[in-house]
Amino acid sequence: MGFRVNVFLLLAFYLFPGVKSSMVSFSNNGYDGIVIAINPSVPEDEKLIQKIKEMVIEASTYLFHATKRRAYFRSVSILIPMTWKSNPEYLMPKQESYDQADVIVADPYLKYGDEPYTLQYGQCGDKGRYIHFTPNFLLSNNLPTYGPRGRIFVHEWAHLQWGVFDEYNLDRPFYISRKNTIEATRCSTQITGTNVVFKECQGGSCITRPCRRDSQTGLYEAKCTFIPNKAQRARESIMFMQSLDSVTEFCTAKTHNKEAPNLQNKMCDHKSTWDVIMKSQDFQNVSPMTGKNPPPGPTISLLKAKQRVICLVLDKSGSMKTEDRLFRLNQAAELYLIQIVEKGSLVGMVTFDNSAEIQNNLIKITDDNTYQKITAKLPQVADGGTSICSGLRAGFQVITQSNQSTSGSEIILLTDGEDDTISSCFEEVKQSGAIIHTIALGPSAAKELETLSKMTGGHKFFASKDINGLIDSFSRISSGSGNIFQRALQLESKALNVARNNWINGTVPVDSTIGNDTFFVVTWTIQKPEILLQDPKGNKYNTADFKEDQLNIRSARLRIQGIAETGTWTYSLLNKHAQSQLLTMTVTTRARSPTTLPVIATAHMSQNTAHHPSPMIVYAQVSQGFLPVLGINVTAIIENEDGHQVTLELWDNGAGADTIKNDGIYSRYFTHYHGNGRYSLKVRAQARENAARISLRHRQNKALYIPGYVENGKIILNPPRPEVEDDMAEAKVENFTRVTSGGSFIVSGVPPSGNHADVFPPGKITDLEAKFKNDHIQLSWTAPGKVLDKGKADRYVIRISTHFRDIQEDFNNASLVNTSGLIPKEAGSTENFEFKPEPNKIENGTIFYIAIQAINEPGLTSEVSNIAQATKLIPPQESSAPALDTKISTISLTMFGFAMILFFIIN
């Protein structure tokens, strides 16, 4: 099918947060700095702004009571697109931008409908990435389906800010309790309702029948649905069903349902949502507010995005002479100015050593001539000391002299030197409202650079010895406006040391979603190589077609006229010099048209700093619009200050570091620390032949859709939710590659020598499944490694009990299963194991709880796995009996026509 699924044509602009740096702060019980950003493709509508305001005001009050008077929303900014008309009420943004927003308002893909959700893929307690609301959700009446919007916002805020998970499970809506009753997966169990199968609809009403038990699983049949009573007494829980009028609290340790097979129990070791929330950094040493009155309503500011303003602030001090740094700076900066910066942007440049010099005031990028005016001033001589503050102040001057505000403008600061006076301008930087992106070049760059990025919401990068690190860093600093069609995409970034008369060869697939403004760039360190390039139709380009820059910075580029041919391009580079030299190939492009969304890859580490022996997690998100791209090869390359590289294959298998299987988030633990200091992250995503696909299924971590409610003994249905048929749930994807920088991070506390990995145990098993087959229990799980998710564990310990608490609270004293014949496989492999539980005679309905630990060769033990459940069922001689306490009822259809109900039944 390729990329061009029909629903894609309905969309225009999307940009998703990559390395996200939320500006949210919490003090004196109030949240400040929340940013709600409207996508540029959303048509101008004052009602939308009004609905967002109403939601925030309602959410603040609900949050206050839900946190037992501990928190409320004090200040919120709504970021208006630059495409909307000006309004005197709109203020100038500071660091607020679309790609750093906490909440984005954007149209969905058709298949998703308008379900609100949070992009959340970290571990228990980790913050999410962003909340997504659609304009239609905010403007329409969703009250029967999801409840008041303020309540939904709090449900999603709990995902985003505190890292708790949903207490329902659409894949396992029912489970068998320790009391041997079938329960709906929920928290708390005090929420009441009825379980029915919709049988038939005629004349405006539907007949239901009781749910039957499946003799194989002991659970209700697949079409069984839990319909809650509209009138409830239970106050918990917001993470299950915030739509119920009675629900105003999160589940506590007292009311939490530890048995439910939901993501909250899986990810948070059966802890209640309230326990996780109270352990968050927000609520450390925070007391409930006193007094009878609630806090005042939130202050809501309207900010309008502005034209992009960028100033390059580039170091040309004496140390830039070493390791060809000045050449590499010029190569990367030129590529940025010609290939990455969006047309229409205002760009200036400052260079600095002991002092700063303005090279260009702001110039509007319109054509090749304007690029050349800036590139002509790139520094050619390196000399002097390093005064970073001088460079920053000159950068501010460039912006203000051109009648632009520093507020919301961007500065790209590159330096390789130390500067013990850098902190003297921190307050000035803060007050400017500018966003500072920092690039640390080499091991001696000022240690305070990351502070500048963090305090202003900018990106941070580290580049070691080859040119690609710098090019990758610059390439990642794209527009944060939300307009994905302006954004440059990197398809190739390869550097190889090539011996005399040797070739390097490579291929670059250009898929049908891209090809506009495509560049092939070659750099070298001594002499221009021979270059051969061929497009998918056999057209050839050679060395003469690649134009060198007048600055003599050892780079040559070929711009493909029009749209680049779809298919596989091949290239070859021959080193003709007598000595070996470093040759690189970089390919960038943009989206083919405003009607077809390109595949995007973003990457980041789980944290900005790590102290040995704490592990970190590498995350890469690969998506087309809001849809995850599955089944591809995703590789992370992590490099330290010495140039030492570690390559990791990232997984989307729902095990180890990966929270949810097949969500387009690829992850892996990183433990191979090689010294202290800065590390850089780079990720390559590559579609496998005929294996890549786009998932059209509903996302996890969202407000629960309610099919209907029971009122006065009758079921009142809600409008049906759009469903994806199994044969339409995925669309094939053609070959593609994407390369992206994930920024930098800092490691400390690494011992000077020895095997640092020996301090890490095997990873926790999180996907243990159990079922009976005759008299045996069959187990399956994903193998952890010797070190978290790498290598092989030495052995497994499996324990079993008929009592849930024995496994959860006293694992080491539960009955041991004989695993002498079980030899662990390589990490990421599927493990299967079968055993016969004791005693030999087991009654019908007996429930066993099983958990597992992995032990590595040094003797380190993993955490106890998730608890799997297996129920012994002896099939009855006759057909399955209907479930008890469920009466046939006639559904009163007061709101919806027969056609919609028929749609509901079909789906």
Strand 435-441 to strand 410-415: parallel, antiparallel, or no bridges (unpaired)? parallel
Determine the Cα–Cα distance for residues 728 and 398; give it in Å rounded to an integer.
54
**In the chain, count of helices (H) and strands (E)?**
15, 50
Q: What DSSP string describes 158-220?
A: HHHHH----S--SS--EEE-TTS-EEES-S-TT--EEEEEEEEEETTEEEEEEPBBPTTTSSB
Any idea what DSSP says for residue 294? P
Q: How far apart are CA 662 and CA 121, in angstroms?
A: 11
Tell me what percent of the chain is helix, strand and coil, each rounded to the nearest 5.
20, 35, 45
Instruction: Indicate the pairing of strand 460-463 with strand 435-441.
Output: parallel
Euclidean distance between CA atoms 99 and 21, whole angstroms: 9
d(CA 107, CA 133): 8
In this structure, are residues 796 and 894 in contact, taking their beta carbons and an 8 Å threshold? no
In 3D space, the residue among 340, 344, 346 whose CA is nearest the CA of residue 366 turns out to be 344
List all residues 6 or more positions away from 149 whose beta carbon is below 8 Å from its beta carbon: 51, 54, 55, 58, 59, 137, 138, 142
Please give the full DSSP string across 328-342, using - where no structure is assigned.
HHHHHHHHIIIIISP
Q: Which two tokens stand for residue 853?
A: 């630990």
The tokens of 490 are what?
């990197």
Q: What's the CA gap between 67 and 74, in Å, rounded?
A: 15
- The amino acid sitting at 584 is T
> For the purposes of burial, counting CB atoms within 10 Å of the CB of 795, is it exposed (0-12), middle (13-18) or buried (19 or more)?
middle
- Phi, psi dihedral angles at 89 (to 5 degrees): -75, -20
Long-range contacts of 67-71 (CB under 8 A, 24+ apart): 67/277, 67/283, 68/249, 68/288, 69/29, 69/288, 69/289, 70/29, 70/283, 70/286, 70/287, 70/288, 70/289, 71/26, 71/29, 71/30, 71/31, 71/282, 71/283, 71/286
Residue identified by tokens 């630990």 is 853
Contact 276, 126 (CB under 8 A): no
Give the pair of three-digit tokens for residue 303. 């900010």
Rounded CA-CA distance 62/64 in Å is 5
866 Ramachandran zone, left/alpha/beta (phi>0; psi -120 to 50)? beta
DSSP assigned state of 247: -
601 three-class SS? strand
Q: What are the distances in angstroms from CA 268 to CA 275, 412, 767?
A: 10, 40, 13
In angstroms, how far is CA 736 from the centroid of its own chain?
20
Please identify every residue annotated as catalytic.
Answer: 156
**N-to-C CA span, the chain:** 23
- Backbone φ, ψ for residue 35 (5° rounding): -115, 125
Bridging pattern class, strands 410-415 and 309-315? parallel
**Got the DSSP string for 748-772?**
E---SSS-GGGG--BPPP---EEEE
